[in-house]
């Protein structure tokens, strides 16, 4: 039950953030351009967050989704939040670090018992 709660909590957060990015992709592309990144990276991040979040919720491809989401959070810390220190109120990496470590935990621990059936 603990792995299900981890997957659901983290998965919902990522799916919602990805969905918001996809529905406001122009602003995301602009923000990424300000970091010197191409538009394709904005689309990739939005898609991975949305689909990766859904995968965690469903308990499918948990390892792949968790690792991809962790990489995105690592880049978010390095490129955006790290310069603002730890505090969430200052735009720091506190929240992103929780998402990174939770994603890694989901990837390493696996989906647990409560999952959608995967075809082999």
Q: Is the pLDDT of residue 2 over 90?
A: yes
Q: Is residue 71 part of a domain?
A: yes
pLDDT in tens, 54-101: 999 999 999 999 999 999 999 999 999 999 999 999 999 999 999 999
Q: Is residue 115 part of a domain?
A: no
Q: Is residue 75 part of a domain?
A: yes
Q: Is residue 114 part of a domain?
A: no
Helices (H) and strands (E) in the chain, counts: 5, 0
Look at residue 117 in the predicted model and tell me its pLDDT: 72
Q: Is residue 117 part of a domain?
A: no
Distance CA 49, CA 16 (A): 8
119 pLDDT tier (thresholds 50, 70, 90): low
Q: Is residue 118 part of a domain?
A: no
Q: Is residue 94 part of a domain?
A: yes
User: Which residue is it, tokens 């647990």?
Assistant: 112
Mean pLDDT within 98-118: 92
Q: What is the CA radius of gyration of the chain?
A: 14
% the chain with pLDDT above 70: 98
- How many domains would you assign to the chain? 1
**What is the domain range of residue 34?**
2-109
């Amino acid at each position: 039950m603990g792995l299900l709660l981890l997957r659901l909590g983290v998965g919902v957060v990522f799916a919602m953030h990805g969905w918001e990015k996809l529905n406001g992709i122009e602003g995301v592309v602009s923000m990424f351009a300000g970091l010197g990144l191409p538009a394709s990276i904005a689309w990739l991040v939005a898609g991975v967050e949305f689909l990766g979040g859904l995968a965690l919720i469903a308990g499918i491809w948990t390892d792949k989704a968790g690792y991809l989401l962790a990489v995105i959070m690592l880049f978010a810390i390095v490129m955006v939040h790290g310069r603002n220190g730890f505090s969430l109120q200052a735009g720091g990496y506190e929240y992103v670090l929780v998402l990174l470590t939770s994603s890694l935990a989901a990837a390493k621990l696996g989906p647990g018992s409560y999952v959608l059936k995967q075809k082999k």
